[in-house]
Structures are given as C-alpha cells and as structure tokens.
C-alpha cells in the first residue's frame, strides 16, 4: 500500500473548523488508496500559552517538566483530528510520542531522533486503521520521559516518519501555497516554484525564507524524502505547492532559483587587528564561546602602519544576527582587556541587510557573480561584504537598498519567467 | 519514611497563584519529613473546554480518543506543580498515568484500577525525588492507550495511591473546609464534623453531599485509607478539616451524624398493578434495562377490586432521579403496550425532596425512626415514602418543606452541639 505523510502546522489546526478542513484533505488521500500518517502541531496559541505558564512558574525551569507540559498541546490536536476523521468514516487513531514510540535523546527541549520503530503503527495499519494521527514535536527518552524537539519540530517529525515508513511523499500543509522565487511582499514579480532542490531550499531556509525549518530540510535531503509545501487554506491537488526534491528530479534547472534576504544581520569590523597566525582563530573562537553565530567573514590585509602598530595589520569584518551584537561586542572587549586580542576599534553597523541569489545551476555556469554585481551596480548599490558558496552569492548592503536590490536581482535573472 | 497522599482538585489549581498556594501546603508536609504523593486535577475549566471540543468534533465519539484528549489537562497541572515545587527547593517530579504505570481496565471514560505498581516511584523516592506529582483521573490500558476514570476520578486516584503506598493519610484539599452535619446554606446551625465514619460518609455522599466522590469513599473503606477533607484556601494544620475513617477510630459517636437532602428525586407510582409473583421483578428489571436508577421502593398491597381487575392488586411507588423521569415513563408504557406489565395509571410527582438522617450510632440505638417522624409531624410535614437502612432513615416529602425538615431534624438530634 503506498503511504503518504501529511503534516499540518498550528495555524492549519487552529480551531475545530480548521481541523475539519485538514481532515478533509486527509480523507481525500485515504480515498485515493493511501495509508496516511498525519503529523499535527498544537492548535496555534496553545503552545505559547503553556510556555508562558512554565516560565511564570519557574525561571530556571526543569526542561523535563517543560516538555511534559508543552507536549500536551499536540496530544489534544491528535485526538481531535482522529475523532473528526472517524466522523467522516475514515479509520483513524491518534498516537502520542511514547505510544509509537518515537525514541529520542534526552536533550529535553531540543531532543534528536534515535529511532522510530514501525511495528506498532504497522500492526494497526494491518488491522485496518489506515490513518495514524501522530502528535508532532515530541518523543520519549530512554528514561521514559516525554521530550520535545524544539520549535518547528513538527516539520522534522513529519520528515522522520516519511523516512522511517518509506513514504511516497511528505506533504507539509502550511499558511503559504509554496516556495517563491522571492518574498511576494518585496517583489510583485515573485513566482511560485514548482520544484526546488534540497540544497537550494536549505540555503533559502537558513537565509530567512521561513517556510520550512532548516533541520527538516536537512533530514529530508539525507533520506531523500520528497517534501511538498502547500496551502491548507486552498483547494489543492497533485500539482499544488512546491516540491522540494533531489536535484536529479529537476530536469532543466535555472541557474538561479531564488533571491533571499535578511534584515536581521549586523556588520561588525575590528579595525587594525594585528595580523599574525592564529588571530582569526582567537576572534572567532572567542565569539563561538560567547554563543555568537557568525555568518559572513571578510579579511582585508593591509601593510600600512596604523597608529601604534608597526607590523602587518588587517581589518576583520564579519556579520552576526542583530540580536547578538551586544554579546559580540562584550566578548571582543573582554578579550581585548584580557590581552588575548589587539585591535584599535570595533565598528558596528546595524543598518545593513543581506541579499543572496541561490541556485544549483551556478555550479556549472560561470558569470553569475559578475551578473549579480553588475545588477547592483546599475542601481548604484554599494556592496559592503561578499560571501559565496557553491550555490549561493550573498552580499551585505545598506538596508535602505534591500528591496531595490531584491527586485533588481529578480529581474536580472528573469525569475518571473517559468 | 512516612508517606502522605495530598490531592488538589480543579478549583485548588485553577491558576498559577493557586498552584503556588497548593505547592506551599506540599512543601510544609515535605519539610515535616514526609514523602509525598500529590494527585492533581486539571485547572478548572480546562477539562470542560476539551470535552466541549470532543463533543463538537464527533457526536458518537470514540471513547479512546476522548480519553487521549481529556487526560491532557491533568498532565499540564502535574508538570506545573512539579516546577513550582522545584522552584521552592522541593525535589519533585511529575508522573503521567502511563509512566507510573496506573494500570486500568480498558473501559474508556469509566476505567477501573487493576494495579498501581510501586517500583518506578519508589525508585525515584530512593534517588531523592521525595515528592511525586501524579496526574489524577487517568491511567493506561493493557493495550497501551490512555484511559480516564470518569468525572471526580482524581479523588479515587488519590485513595488508590494511598492504599498502594500504605500512606499514613490521604488529604483531599477542596473548596470546603470539611464535612458538615448538614449544608450550612440550609441550616445556619450546621457544624463541621471532626471525624466521620466511612459508612456515614458513603450515605452522605450518595445522598447529595457532594464533598467526596462515592467511589473514592468506597475504595477508602475497603482499604482502610484514612481520608481527610480540608480547605485549600485556608491555613490548615494537623487538626483541620474532617477525618473520614474507620468507625473504630471514632471514640464516642453520636447516634446521628448528619442530615442529608436531595432535590433531584421524583416520585413515581404505578396505580393498581396486578399483584402476582414476579411483578416487582418485571417492573424494576425493565427500569434497570432502561438505565434508570431506582432509589426508594414502597409497595402497598390492597385487596380491593379496582376497575377491571378482580384479583389482588397493589400500588407500587418508587423514586428516580428527576432527569430520568421521561426515560422511566417510556419504559413503563412500552412494557404495558408489550403486555409485559398491567397497571391502570402512572402518576409522577417531581415536586418532592428526599431528606435523610445518617449515623452509625443508629445500629445500637432504638427510637431514631420514631424521633425522626415526630420531628416532622411537629412541623406538619407529610411523609410520602419512607426507606431505611442500617445507618440511615430517608423520607420523601413535598419539596417546599425540605429546608424546614432539615432544620427540624438538625435541631431534634442536637447536631449543633459537639
């Protein structure tokens, strides 16, 4: 029997009407002949309510108790969804994490999957319960305690079940109708993609296109789970949404698939750093120890004499998330005070944005970087930092030019054309 | 180590402030040197909210899914209570039914205990987790599915744990400060009892004094679990509340301990029933099959000729809960139409009330019935039906005289005096 995994997020099961709407989508796949594993989130707002209670009750809370409380939201949705499906004549039952069991590490609040044995659910499939409604976001530790996977964990649960059960596809129903070439709010020319490669989706997800959780895409890529992102609020069929798949499934891919952007980046420059072996390690090791996520890094070596320095000196520029600027500054100042690091000044620019063009076609195509820089130059947009990977070119620019840059790049690579 | 079971109902854990208040009571017992098992209900309103969702989702709902949804309320409270206790420095952890495990039958929605193995909780006690916060009202079936015990099941959970763990006492914290000689809203002379025997409490509970669930008192009586009912909203100490215990623990018991009453009774009379062997069985068998709970039964045999009947005839009077009158009427009419039963008329009187005097002292004391009837007669209250047990005398009277009857009996037996 072919098997499908269908995942519904919090807004897709926010109330009883939406649960019914989601159940209709499950019913349709069941009537097409699929065994279905449905992964559900908590009704939207419920998890936040419970997190609030936990945080008000205990500041430094025991993560095991946090998990025991917070996981209950998904249990409620799973039961209600099973009931709704039964009411429609669909043979469904609910599964809580410990009933499957979804075995995880005991890293409460951010647990990782160890195994998802198929036996229990397969036995119920064999008895005729063709639809298993599984509470997402949760599992059980070897100690028999409830664990959660962290926010967005239901996407990851869905992909893990698709991998464990060899699902034909994993459909992620959400409040958008697919993955776009860029954010439609920034460019009216944004176009929904029919297909996108895992690698591209990963770059888009981590660059701030918040459709799928990065970890779920990584897991899908590793196990080659075909993911489909589609809207739970529209009529959908086999061709709806965007398929996230192995690049081999994408016949003729464009050089660039999308333009991503992020406003949450800040640029920091250490001015006149003594240029000696190990200095980069000293800077970024210090930042890592302070829990700062450094993204782009650029080093400008200069042989000039600067102030009191006489040897080779350099400027070191890097970008960090805006909300980690204060922490990064403190880490650098502490390191300087402790004599671990010598620099003249630390300049922070929070008025920047990162814009990236992403596409697996770049690998075999030259000139993408040149075309990117030309498109920005034509709009008189100054590039502050450049970083590239195999399938991505990112630039840091003044934030006020962000929308202009996205539109210019979208036009330059003709992303509005199918 | 002596062990105490403490149970907090829905109003006692209705919000975070009340959970903190309850936690302080637990902390005090812990600091006195007790190991404590805390049984918690869902925050008041939460269970009703979830029951509403289930009923809106599915009319003839699958009780297994109902249980999976509804039991989640207690899990939330258990986690929050454990967190609050930890914050106070009390080594607590939460336990869900399946983690203990609380083994029950698979009669979903009204499951019964099979066993509560001590191993898991004892192991944690030994590790130093001296307070086990257990989600009440729930268990797990042999099939590994979540069960619930039905409304009020948390009281029963508390008593079952007290029995399983040999607790010194089972303290039921609720929104009243004990068991009274009668309802203080009906008689201002009502007095709180320091002690009451299990048998008396059972009669009072089943007669409508809704302090403790009948089933929990039955279980306490069977396992000789000392129950204490006390207020979660007042400062309490070792002497607070009412102790429900074996009668041997009550040194000098009064003849009558309390006056109970119920407005939810209706009187039904089958007029001119053919009096032959098996007729009572035909009537009450039919009612039982229809799910009607018959309480009091009186038969008046008469040798008169009535209408078309020529042999011995009788009037059969019985009382049923008001909300079962329609069902009882239909059952009687159907039986008559089917020729299973012959009677001339069925008279229903819903304008009645039941008043009962209860006391284990009655067993050894004559004249209680006479004193009861005299007290009512002195107020010109006509008695419609009388029923007695070893420790109880119940009368059915016009509802408008109910409060007067309660006050008269309370005075007659001097219940306001300690």
pLDDT at residue B195 is higher than 70:
yes
By the 8 A CB rule, do A284 and A264 touch?
A: no
Is A348 annotated among the ligand-binding residues? Answer: no
Count contacts between A and B (CB, < 8 Å): 107
β-bridge pairing B383-389 and B392-398 = antiparallel
Q: How far apart (Å, rounded) are the C-alpha atoms in residues B283 and B81? A: 51
DSSP letter, residue A341: -
Residue with tokens 């922490």: A327
Query: Which of A309-323, B16-30, B316-330, B374-388 comes out lowest in average pLDDT?
Result: A309-323
- Given this model, what pLDDT does residue A209 score? 59
**Distance in angstroms (rounded) separating the CA atoms of residues B140 and B121:** 16
A69–B79 CB contact, under 8 Å: yes
Nearest to B130 by CA among B24, B3, B236: B3
Task: Pull the structure tokens for residue B278.
Answer: 């098996």
Report how far residue A300's alpha carbon sits from residue A316's, in angstroms, rounded to the nearest whole number.
7
Distance CA A276, CA A286 (A): 16
pLDDT tens digits, residue range A111-143? 999 999 999 999 999 999 999 999 999 999 999
Nearest Cα residue to A394 out of A319, A340, A326:
A319
Contact (CB<8Å) B82/A75: no
- Mean pLDDT taken over chain B: 90
Q: Can you point out the beta strands (E) in A86-177?
A: 92-95, 103-104, 113-115, 131-135, 138-140, 146-148, 169-174
Cβ-contact B345, B384 below 8 angstroms: no
Q: How far apart are CA A219 and CA A365, in angstroms?
A: 28
* Cα A214 from Cα A152, distance rounded (Å): 9
Q: Give the tens place of pLDDT for each residue, A262-273.
A: 888 899 999 888
- Cβ pair A83:B72 closer than 8 A: no
Where along chain A do its domains lie? 3-175
pLDDT at residue B205 is higher than 80: no
Query: Which residues, 6+ apart, have CB-to-CB distance to B76 below 8 Å?
Result: A50, A53, A69, A72, B42, B43, B46
φ/ψ of B292, rounded to 5, equals -95, 130
Chain A residue numbers with beta carbons less than 8 Å from the beta carbon of B75 are 68-69, 72, 75
Q: Which of residues 79-138 of B touch A (CB under 8 A)?
A: 79-80, 82-84, 86-87, 93-94, 96, 98-99
Segment B34-61 shows an average pLDDT of 93
- Nearest to residue B38, comparing CAs of B151, B127, B207, B171? B171
Residues on chain B touching A65 (C-beta within 8 angstroms) = 79-80, 82-83, 86, 93-94
Return the closest-CA partner of residue B254 out of B372, B392, B360, B357: B360
Nearest chain B residue (CA) to A83: B58
Q: What angle do CA A360, A364, A367 make, to 5 degrees?
A: 95
The token pair at A298 is: 């650029």
Interface test with B, best of A83, A96, A121, A142 (most B CBs within 10 A): A83
Across chain A, mean pLDDT equals 90
CA distances, A31 to each of A39, A85, A165 (Å): 18, 12, 20
In this predicted structure, what is the pLDDT of residue A309? 54
Q: Which residues contact A397 (CB under 8 A, 6 or more apart)?
A: A352, A353, A355, A376, A381, A382, A383, A384, A405
Chain A neighbors of B135, CB-CB under 8 A: none
**Dist CA A403 CA A410 (whole Å):** 10
| Cβ within 8 Å, pair A54-B82 | no
User: In terms of CA atoms, which chain B residue is nearest residue A143?
Assistant: B99
> What order do you get walking across the sheet with A352-358 strand by strand?
A258-262, A352-358, A392-398, A383-389
- Give per-residue pLDDT as tens, A292-325: 888 888 877 655 555 555 567 788 899 999 989 9
Cβ–Cβ below 8 Å for A86 and B58: yes
Residue B247 and residue B234: Cα distance in Å, rounded?
Answer: 27
Q: Is B68 close to A50, i.e. CB distance below 8 A?
A: no
Q: How far apart are CA B370 and CA B87, in angstroms?
A: 59
H-helix or E-strand spanning residue A357 = strand A352-358
Per-residue pLDDT of B280-335, as tens digits, reads 888 998 998 888 888 888 877 655 555 555 567 788 899 999 989 999 999 999 99
What is residue A357's predicted lDDT score, i.e. its pLDDT? 93
Task: Verify whether the Cβ–Cβ distance B62 to A16 is below 8 Å.
Answer: no
Q: How confident is the model at residue B375 (pLDDT cuts 50, 70, 90)?
A: very high
CB A73 within 8 A of CB A90: no
For residue B227, what pLDDT is reported? Answer: 95
Question: pLDDT (tens digit, 9 = 90+) per residue, B102-121?
Answer: 999 999 999 999 999 999 99
Q: Among A271-280, B154-163, B193-202, B233-242, where is mean pLDDT lowest? A: A271-280
pLDDT at A26 over 60: yes
Q: What average pLDDT does this structure show over A191-213?
A: 83
pLDDT at B363: 82
- Tokens 């000392």 appear where? B226
Please check whether residue A284 touches B, CB under 8 A.
no
Distance of CA B375 to the CA centre of its chain: 28
The ipTM value here is: 0.78
CB B295 within 8 A of CB B334: no
Give the pLDDT score at B146. 97
Helix axes A153-164 and A214-223, enclosed angle (nearest 10): 10
Element spanning B52, H or E: helix B46-57
Q: Name the token pair of B76.
A: 């939330």
Question: pLDDT grade, residue B247 (50/70/90)?
Answer: confident
Pairing relation of β-strands B392-398 and B352-358? antiparallel
DSSP state of B346: E
Name the residue facing B58 among A69, A84, A146 (closest C-beta). A84
Q: Which of A66, A82, A146 sits opposite B65 (nearest CB)?
A: A82
Class of the CATH-defined domain B3-175: alpha beta
Q: Would you state the pLDDT for residue A208?
A: 59
| B383-to-B114, B145, B374, B393 alpha-carbon distances in Å | 44, 50, 11, 12
Tell me if B39 sits within 8 A of B161, measured CB to CB.
Answer: yes
**pTM: predicted TM-score of the whole model, two decimal places:** 0.82
pLDDT in tens, B209-240: 677 888 899 999 999 999 999 999 988 887 89
Using 50, 70 and 90 to split pLDDT, how confident is the model at A366? confident
In degrees, rounded to 5, the angle at the alpha carbon of residue A111 between the alpha carbons of residues A109 and A117 is 140
Q: What is the mean pLDDT of residues B395-402?
A: 94
A417 touches B: beta carbon within 8 Å: no
Banded model confidence at residue A362, pLDDT cuts 50, 70, 90? confident
Contact by Cβ (8 Å): A26, A232: no
Asked whether B354 and B392 are in contact (CB, 8 A), the reply is no
What does the pLDDT average to over A239-264?
Answer: 87
Q: Residue A186's CB: how many other CB atoms inside 10 A?
A: 18
In a 13 Å sphere around the CA of B129, the CA atoms on its Cβ side amount to 18
């Amino acid at each position: 029997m072919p098997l499908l995994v269908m995942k519904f997020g919090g807004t897709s099961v926010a109330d009883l009407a939406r649960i019914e709407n989601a159940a209709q989508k499950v019913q349709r796949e069941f009537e097409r002949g699929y065994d279905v594993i449905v992964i559900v989130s908590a009704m939207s707002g419920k998890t936040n309510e419970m997190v609030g209670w936990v945080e008000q009750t205990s500041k430094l809370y025991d993560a095991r108790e946090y998990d025991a409380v917070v996981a209950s939201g998904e249990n409620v949705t799973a039961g209600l969804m099973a009931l709704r499906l039964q009411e429609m004549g669909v043979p469904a039952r609910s599964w809580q994490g410990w009933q499957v069991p979804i075995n995880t590490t005991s890293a409460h609040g951010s647990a990782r999957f160890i195994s998802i044995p198929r036996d229990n659910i397969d036995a119920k499939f064999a008895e005729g319960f063709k639809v298993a409604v599984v509470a997402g976001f949760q599992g059980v530790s070897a100690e028999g305690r409830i664990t959660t996977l962290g926010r967005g964990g239901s996407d990851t649960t869905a992909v893990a079940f698709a991998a464990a059960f060899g699902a034909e596809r994993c459909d992620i129903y959400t409040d958008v109708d697919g993955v776009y070439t860029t954010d439609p709010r920034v460019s009216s020319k944004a176009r929904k993609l029919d297909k996108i490669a895992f690698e591209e989706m990963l770059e888009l997800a981590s660059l701030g296109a918040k459709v799928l959780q990065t970890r779920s895409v990584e897991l899908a890529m590793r196990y080659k789970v075909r993911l489909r992102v589609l809207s739970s609020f529209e009529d959908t069929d086999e061709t709806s949404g965007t398929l996230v798949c192995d690049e081999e499934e994408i016949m003729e891919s464009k050089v660039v698939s999308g333009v991503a952007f992020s406003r949450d980046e800040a640029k920091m420059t250490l001015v006149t750093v003594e240029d000696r072996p190990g200095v980069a390690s000293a800077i970024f090791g210090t930042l890592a120890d302070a829990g700062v996520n450094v993204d782009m890094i650029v080093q400008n070596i200069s042989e000039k004499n600067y102030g009191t320095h006489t040897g080779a000196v350099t400027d070191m520029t890097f970008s960090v998330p805006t909300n980690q600027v204060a922490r990064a500054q403190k880490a650098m100042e502490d390191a300087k005070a402790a004599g671990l690091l010598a620099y003249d000044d630390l300049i922070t620019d929070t008025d920047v944005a990162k814009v990236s063009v992403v596409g697996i076609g770049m690998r075999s195509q030259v000139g993408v970087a040149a075309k990117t820089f030309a498109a920005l130059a034509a709009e008189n947009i100054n590039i502050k930092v450049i970083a590239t990977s195999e399938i991505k070119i990112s630039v840091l620019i003044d934030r006020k030019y962000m929308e202009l840059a996205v539109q210019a790049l979208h036009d330059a690579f003709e992303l509005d054309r199918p």
